[in-house]
């Protein structure tokens, strides 16, 4: 199908873009890579009045590192996550997750800020941002504010973004030495939406899991930190021979709905199998 009509404007600067967004009464949608947005427009799932093309704004690019965090511009493309030395060194979770995002051509266009703003519950990067305890830098005419990823995602395609606000960058805290990360997802086809996915960031005490942040996606209305699973695996030594240590906790944290073609208990089983795989890969993975 074809998109409904809309106005299109390409601001010359970030300040210009923020002015347009502020004056649009919430009717404007920013577009950068457009890899989810345009599919939705073509299928007429959404019909905004105004698209604000932020895709060429240099202020939204760039990668930098301070002593305690890595800052990635909102226009960082998924493909950049696979080639950036900074990401490889300090954010191995993002590098591990990136190949799971769509396909080659999608990764060439889609952006970090776009994926977080769209807040698809099956998307990889929101889960990574929550697992890494990232903060989103939101710009508006009023200035900037920072929101923790865990507080940013409110529900199905729902975020803490207020009218007139734009994600300008994401700050990822530098993980302590020895932190380990793992990521996996189950989907019907390569590049298809995850039926269940899991990102884990964990520190180790010797060979035992100390503080673990398991974040599930694709099986709730948003990327979701699983506190019971985190508590259940703390102090344990991977690899796990069976799932008895964490299976009951998964059932406490996740309550997926029945879907046509996929029962809730099937999905819980998949989550349990996936959790075992991800936790076992933690013990093999080199320290971050």
Partner 1 sequence: MIGDEEIAIETTLNGKPLKTRVRARQHLADFLRQELELTGTHLGCEHGICGACTVLIDGRTARSCLTLAAQISGHAVETIEGLSDSGKLAELQAEFIARNAAQCGFCSSGLLLTAYEVVASGAQLSRSEIREVISGNMCRCTGYHAIVDAIQAVMTKGRC
Contacts with partner 1 by CB under 8 A lie at 1-8, 10, 31, 34-35, 38-39, 41-43, 49, 51, 53, 55-56, 79, 99, 102-106, 108-109, 189-191
Q: Which is nearer to partner 1, 50 or 174 (CB)?
A: 50
Dist. CA 135–CA 150, nearest whole Å:
9
- As measured in angstroms, the least distance from the Cβ of 3 to partner 1 is 5
139: phi then psi, degrees, rounded to nearest 5? -100, 150
- As measured in angstroms, the least distance from the Cβ of 7 to partner 1 is 6
Dist. CA 210–CA 204, nearest whole Å:
5
- As measured in angstroms, the least distance from the Cβ of 118 to partner 1 is 13
- As measured in angstroms, the least distance from the Cβ of 120 to partner 1 is 13
- As measured in angstroms, the least distance from the Cβ of 99 to partner 1 is 8
Tracing tokens 């457009």 back to the chain, one arrives at 34
Dist. CA 214–CA 221, nearest whole Å:
16
Q: Which is nearer to partner 1, 33 or 256 (CB)?
A: 33
Q: Which is nearer to partner 1, 102 or 197 (CB)?
A: 102
Q: Which is nearer to partner 1, 97 or 247 (CB)?
A: 97
Contact 96, 281 (CB under 8 A): no
Going by C-beta distance under 8 Å and a sequence separation of 6 or more, which residues neighbour residue 72?
A: 62, 63, 87, 112, 169, 170, 172
Dist. CA 25–CA 22, nearest whole Å:
7
Going by C-beta distance under 8 Å and a sequence separation of 6 or more, which residues neighbour residue 55?
A: 31, 32, 33, 34, 75
Dist. CA 16–CA 149, nearest whole Å:
26
238: phi then psi, degrees, rounded to nearest 5? -70, 160
Q: Which is nearer to partner 1, 10 or 251 (CB)?
A: 10
- As measured in angstroms, the least distance from the Cβ of 81 to partner 1 is 14
Q: Which is nearer to partner 1, 17 or 51 (CB)?
A: 51
């Amino acid at each position: 199908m074809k998109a409904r009509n809309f106005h299109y404007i390409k601001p010359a600067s970030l300040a210009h873009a923020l002015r347009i967004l502020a004056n649009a009464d919430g009717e404007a949608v920013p577009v950068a890579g457009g890899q989810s947005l345009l599919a939705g427009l073509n299928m007429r799932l959404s019909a905004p009045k105004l698209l604000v093309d932020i895709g060429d704004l240099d202020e939204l690019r760039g990668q930098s590192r301070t002593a305690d965090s890595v800052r990635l511009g909102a226009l960082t493309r998924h493909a950049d996550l696979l080639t950036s030395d900074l990401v490889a060194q300090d954010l191995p979770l993002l590098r591990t997750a990136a190949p799971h995002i769509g396909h080659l051509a999608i990764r060439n266009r889609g952006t970090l800020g776009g994926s977080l703003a769209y807040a698809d519950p099956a998307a990889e990067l929101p889960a990574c941002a929550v697992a890494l305890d990232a903060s989103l830098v939101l710009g508006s005419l009023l200035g900037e504010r920072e929101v923790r990823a865990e507080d940013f995602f409110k529900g199905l395609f729902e975020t803490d973004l207020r009218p007139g606000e734009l994600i300008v960058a994401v700050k990822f805290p530098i993980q302590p030495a020895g932190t380990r990360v793992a990521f996996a997802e189950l989907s019907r086809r390569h590049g298809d939406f995850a039926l269940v996915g899991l990102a884990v960031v964990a520190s180790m005490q010797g060979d035992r899991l100390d503080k673990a942040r398991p974040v599930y996606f694709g099986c709730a209305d948003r990327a979701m930190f699983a506190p019971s699973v985190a508590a259940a695996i703390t102090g344990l030594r991977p690899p796990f021979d069976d799932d008895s240590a964490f299976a009951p906790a998964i059932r406490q944290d996740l309550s997926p709905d029945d879907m046509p073609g996929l029962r809730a208990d099937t999905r819980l089983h998949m989550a349990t199998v996936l959790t075992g795989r991800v936790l076992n890969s933690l013990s093999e993975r080199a320290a971050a």
